[in-house]
């Protein structure tokens, strides 16, 4: 269209004025205001939450500096720190990367590239969608029965191995669904070009489809790790420690992996239930300590989330233009 | 086209793991739940599931498993949270999709998505620290800082970005031509939204509602922190009182499991509650998928 934006705007206002006789559309304005209020309210609540947490956390980082990050769980707010929580959460993230990434991506690619429309395929798809909606606490039951009790010889019972495997299973549907979606968005011309020069299905997938779908798949995997880092309910069922946790310094890595553990969200849950008495030396309370722990957890989770969403939007825009 | 069997079989195996996982979940849940039910039959009888005493309630340590207590807690909390999330989320979605400039939308939508990623235990702590004492208690005059109402509102805030995001997607899927036709007939923008766009997107909006309910029912950490009871609760239908949801009951049962007091049935009840919860959310999710298929308008 060769009409400039300003012409459209002035014509539009002129036509509107003629149609409404210059009266204001009060109902419409009230409706629009209500909508703005809804959006502001939802954003405001979450802003208040973040603001409150950061404000509470500041004195902890000022008075305890890095001691808060390197100390272990303790009963005094002067000494307690989150190092064990950070370690547990990072190990869980590693399990998600090692177990859920390859299986999830392979399953997603299979469903889009290989599977023929059959009863079995439809059943698998339905099954994955339903798995994605299962509450996380139910995955905790699976972890408790299968990994803590069933395979305790391998996992060591209530250990970070059980937790890592359970959370890898929990995020698997997310990875499969986002992988399948981004593979579906790959133009079929790319595949056909590959087949045309004699590539096998796997060669075409590996060299043409996967590179094109990579940003979308990466977004899904980052969201999945963020989700795993924030989950507390399954860990409670598996038996993460909320109180004090003694780690012997001479333990090997395998013993540590098979021993008692905690993770950031569970530390936060435990501290939320602590008595709120200020520590003698620093005057800090567990409430403030907990806000600082939340800042650490949100740091991990939100950075991943933001990176994932920025990445997706950037590539979406690039493809459109 | 050439194919290669080995990689294909490997990837098929990966896809099949999801089926194996579902089978494992269903198998473990119902086997252990059955252990609980048969344990009940052997000892106190199924009557323990619906407490007929003078002061009924969920007291697993005393072999009193009044399922009404925790189901009522869950339903009260979910209704409150949807009452918070549905208007806020839908309103925000309509604004973003129909009123906001593309630039504003490009900023606000990702912010909402990032906020949807805040872990639920953070909302639990927020409910405990701010929402309960500073908002709900003075506003509704509740006796305690923690109760079902606080839990419901906190879960509502948690679910709002999800509700907004799914509804916005379905509103934007409505073809522009419908809006243009409506505007061409002289409808105001608000009329177009209410009479044309919303009805056209109804399948997605109803699905968003159902998914929000399902999410609220399954939400654990907020309820475990803010519902106001630890492990046991008298039966209550009053949202301003402390209560217990199914999820909170499960988390607290599991937590105390290292020092089990009372009979082994208390711990086993965890699986029964889990099975009921699983069936409720599965039913809702399948309903959501059905609604999308049934009500979807083809353009």
- Sequential DSSP letters for A254-266: HHHHHS----HHH
Burial of A69 (0-12, 13-18, 19+ CB in 10 A): middle
Give the residue ranges of chain B where pLDDT is below 50. 259-262
Nearest residue to A236 (alpha-carbon basis) of A139, A169, A156: A139
A201-237 per-position pLDDT tens digit: 888 888 889 988 888 888 889 889 999 999 999 998 8
Supply the CATH classification number for the domain A63-320: 1.10.3720.10
- Give the pLDDT score at A2: 56
- Give the pLDDT score at A166: 94
Residues B153 and B240: beta-carbon distance below 8 Å: no
Residue B234, chain A, CB below 8 Å: the answer is no
Q: Which of residues 143-162 of B touch A (CB under 8 A)?
A: 157, 160-161
In B, which residues are within 8 Å of A49 by CB distance? 118, 122-123, 126, 130, 157
Q: How many CB atoms lie within 10 A of CB B137?
A: 19
- Give the three-class secondary structure for A31: helix
Residue of A39, A131, A302 with shortest CB distance to B95:
A39
Q: Do A124 and B19 touch (CB under 8 A)?
A: yes
Nearest CA in chain B to A43: B112
Domain boundaries, chain A: 63-320
Q: Do B11 and A106 touch (CB under 8 A)?
A: yes
| Domains of chain B listed by start with CATH number | 47-295 (1.10.3720.10)
B70-95 per-position pLDDT tens digit: 999 999 999 999 999 999 999 999 99
Nearest residue to B5 (alpha-carbon basis) of A230, A41, A201, A84: A201
In A, which residues are within 8 Å of B160 by CB distance? 42, 45
- Give the pLDDT score at B3: 61
Nearest CA in chain A to B218: A135
- Give the pLDDT score at B216: 93
Residue of B3, B160, B274 with shortest CB distance to A138:
B274
In B, which residues are within 8 Å of A131 by CB distance? 18, 21-22
A22 backbone φψ class: left, alpha, beta (φ>0; ψ -120 to 50): left
Q: How far apart are CA B214 and CA B223, in angstroms?
A: 14
How far off is chain A from B65, nearest CA to CA, in Å?
19
Residue of B121, B126, B257 with shortest CB distance to A269:
B121
- Give the pLDDT score at B2: 60
Residue of A28, A41, A139 with shortest CB distance to B189:
A28
Residues A138 and B251: beta-carbon distance below 8 Å: no
pTM listed for this prediction: 0.88
Burial of B68 (0-12, 13-18, 19+ CB in 10 A): middle
DSSP state of B64: E
Give the residue ranges of chain A where pLDDT is below 50. 1
In A, which residues are within 8 Å of B194 by CB distance? 31
B128-161 per-position pLDDT tens digit: 888 888 888 888 888 888 889 999 999 999 999 9
Q: Do A239 and B25 touch (CB under 8 A)?
A: no
Pairing of strands B64-65, B233-234: unpaired
Nearest CA in chain B to A135: B218
Residue B106, chain A, CB below 8 Å: the answer is yes
């Amino acid at each position: 269209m060769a009409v400039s934006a300003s012409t459209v705007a002035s014509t539009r206002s002129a036509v509107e004025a003629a149609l409404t006789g210059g009266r204001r559309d009060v109902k419409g304005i009230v409706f629009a205001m209500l909508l703005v209020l809804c959006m502001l309210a939802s954003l405001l609540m979450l802003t208040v939450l973040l603001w409150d947490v950061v404000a509470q956390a500041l004195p902890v980082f000022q008075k305890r500096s890095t001691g808060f990050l390197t100390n272990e769980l303790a009963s005094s707010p002067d000494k307690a720190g989150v190092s064990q929580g950070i370690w547990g959460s990072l190990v869980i993230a590693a399990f998600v990367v090692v177990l859920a990434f390859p299986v999830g991506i392979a399953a997603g690619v299979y469903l889009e590239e290989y599977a023929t429309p059959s009863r079995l395929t439809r059943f698998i798809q339905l099954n994955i969608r339903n798995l994605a909606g299962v509450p996380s606490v139910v995955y905790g039951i699976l972890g408790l029965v299968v990994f803590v009790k069933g395979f305790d010889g391998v996992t060591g019972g209530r250990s970070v191995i059980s937790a890592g495997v359970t959370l890898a299973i929990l995020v698997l549907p997310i990875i499969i669904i986002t992988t399948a979606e981004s593979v579906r968005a790959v133009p079929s011309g790319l595949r056909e070009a590959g087949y045309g020069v004699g590539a096998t299905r796997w060669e075409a997938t590996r060299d043409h489809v996967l590179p094109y779908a990579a940003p979308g798949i990466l977004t899904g995997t980052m969201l999945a790790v963020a989700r795993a880092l924030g989950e507390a309910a399954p860990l409670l069922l598996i038996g993460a420690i909320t109180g004090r946790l003694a780690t012997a310094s001479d333990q090997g890595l395998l013993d540590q992996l098979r021993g008692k553990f905690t993770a950031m969200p569970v530390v936060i849950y435990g501290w939320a239930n602590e008595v709120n008495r200020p520590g003698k030396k620093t005057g800090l309370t567990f409430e403030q300590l907990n806000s600082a722990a939340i800042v650490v957890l949100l740091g991990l989770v939100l950075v991943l989330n933001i990176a994932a969403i920025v990445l997706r939007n950037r590539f979406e825009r690039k493809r459109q233009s | 086209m050439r194919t290669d069997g080995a990689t294909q079989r490997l990837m098929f195996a990966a896809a099949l793991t999801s089926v194996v996982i579902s089978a494992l979940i269903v198998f473990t849940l119902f086997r252990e739940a059955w252990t609980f039910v048969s344990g009940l039959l052997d000892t106190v009888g199924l009557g323990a599931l619906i407490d007929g005493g003078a002061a009924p309630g969920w007291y697993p340590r005393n072999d009193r498993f009044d399922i009404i207590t925790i189901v009522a807690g869950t339903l009260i909390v979910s209704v409150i949270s949807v009452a918070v999330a549905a208007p806020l989320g839908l309103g925000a979605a309509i604004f973003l999709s129909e009123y906001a400039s593309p630039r504003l939308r490009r900023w606000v939508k990702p912010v909402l998505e990032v906020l949807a990623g805040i872990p639920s235990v953070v909302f639990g702590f927020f409910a405990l620290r701010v929402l309960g004492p500073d908002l709900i208690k003075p506003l509704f005059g509740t006796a305690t800082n923690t109760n079902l109402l606080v839990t419901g509102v906190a879960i509502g805030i948690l679910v709002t970005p999800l509700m907004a995001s799914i509804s916005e997607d379905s509103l934007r899927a409505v073809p522009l031509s419908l809006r243009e036709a409506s505007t061409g007939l002289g409808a105001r923008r608000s009329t177009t939204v209410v009479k044309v766009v919303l009805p056209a997107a109804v399948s997605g909006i109803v699905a968003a509602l159902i998914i929000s309910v399902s999410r609220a029912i399954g939400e654990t950490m907020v309820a475990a922190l803010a519902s106001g009871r630890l492990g046991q609760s008298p039966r209550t239908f009053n949202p301003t009182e402390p209560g217990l949801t199914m999820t909170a009951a499960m988390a607290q049962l599991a937590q105390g499991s290292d020092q089990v007091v009372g009979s082994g049935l208390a711990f086993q009840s965890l699986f029964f509650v889990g099975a009921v919860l699983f069936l409720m959310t599965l039913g809702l999710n399948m309903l959501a998928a059905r609604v999308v298929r049934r009500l979807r308008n083809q353009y």
